[in-house]
Amino acid sequence: MRTAQRKAQEVTEREQRLLRTALEVVGRDGLHNLTLARLATEASYSKGTIYNHFTCREDLLVALSTDSAKRQIRYYQAIADMPWDGVRALYGLMLAYMRHAETAPELFESSIAALANAVGALASPERLERRDVIDRQMGQVIGAVVERTGREGVFKHPVLPPEAALDALRSAVLGYTVTHLLSRRFQWGAAAADGNRLAVAASMMHGLGWPLVEASAASSVQRVVDDLIPAAEANVGGGRLVHD
């Protein structure tokens, strides 16, 4: 291996270790305690080494959100490739988003924090572009599934076009995931809200113009998603972060 290639690989491996350490800090002490200085101490690197990777805390958050998106697009593509009709595939995408948040809460929380405009204003353009590339790819996969439901003639809403319905569905899924899966302090829902996940998914989709999926079929989709995103893969510090 050439010297330049070896150095590039060492940089990539070190960054993977730093991201795993960052998730350990988030899981143990909370996202608010994740700083570059704290990362340097926890990872036993100098501050200079840390700054060689991340220009600021916001840069680190965007890097974590990029890894979160890479995991998600891997799941989404696998679901889109399933021999399902469009509606079941759309259920699968929605349930995969929830499952990802449930099994990798530290990574998911970091990705939510990285959405803030203040983070985007301070993060490096290079980091933002890497994340934007993955986001565009993810949008293409999701868009293709929605288009499939349109070709199948199953989407029917008296007012909303499919694009607006998808935007509303995305917002609803994000809100449900943050309040019920990421936060245990949400007061409106019942304590056993996790058990209502399929019913919530069905009500959101049906209200926005897609047909209801029978309970047995929805449960089958959930089992596939659970197998695709095992909880063990997302253990903080032991999970596999996805890199190009």
Taking only the tens of pLDDT, the chain with its 244 residues reads 578 788 888 888 999 999 999 999 999 999 999 999 999 999 999 999 999 999 999 999 999 999 999 999 999 999 999 999 999 999 999 999 999 999 999 999 999 999 999 999 999 999 999 999 999 999 999 999 999 999 999 999 999 999 999 999 999 999 999 888 887 777 665 555 556 889 989 999 999 999 999 999 999 999 999 999 988 554 433 333 333 3
- pLDDT (0 to 100) of residue 197: 87
- pLDDT (0 to 100) of residue 107: 94
- Spatial separation of the C-alpha atoms in residues 196 and 92, rounded to whole Å: 16
Residue 238 sits at the vertex; the CA angle it makes with 237 and 239, to the nearest 5 degrees, is 100
Helices 215-228 and 57-80, interaxial angle, to 10°? 130
* Number of structural domains in the chain: 1
Detail the DSSP E strand segments found in 35-181.
none
Residue 30 placed within a domain: no
Residue 46 placed within a domain: no
Cβ proximity of 18 and 50 under 8 Å:
yes
- Spatial separation of the C-alpha atoms in residues 147 and 149, rounded to whole Å: 5
- Output the domain CATH number for residue 144: 1.10.357
- pLDDT (0 to 100) of residue 116: 95
Cβ proximity of 64 and 112 under 8 Å:
no
Cβ proximity of 84 and 141 under 8 Å:
no
- pLDDT (0 to 100) of residue 190: 56
- Spatial separation of the C-alpha atoms in residues 64 and 109, rounded to whole Å: 10
Residue 172 placed within a domain: yes
- pLDDT (0 to 100) of residue 193: 57
- pLDDT (0 to 100) of residue 236: 39
Q: What's the domain range around 115?
A: 59-234
Residue 115 placed within a domain: yes
- Sign of the four-CA dihedral 97, 89, 91, 195: negative
Residue 71 sits at the vertex; the CA angle it makes with 64 and 13, to the nearest 5 degrees, is 55
Residue 20 placed within a domain: no
- pLDDT (0 to 100) of residue 232: 59
Residue 108: φ, ψ to 5°: -65, -45
Residue 198 placed within a domain: yes
pTM over 0.75: yes
- Spatial separation of the C-alpha atoms in residues 69 and 152, rounded to whole Å: 28
Residue 106 placed within a domain: yes
Residue 53 placed within a domain: no
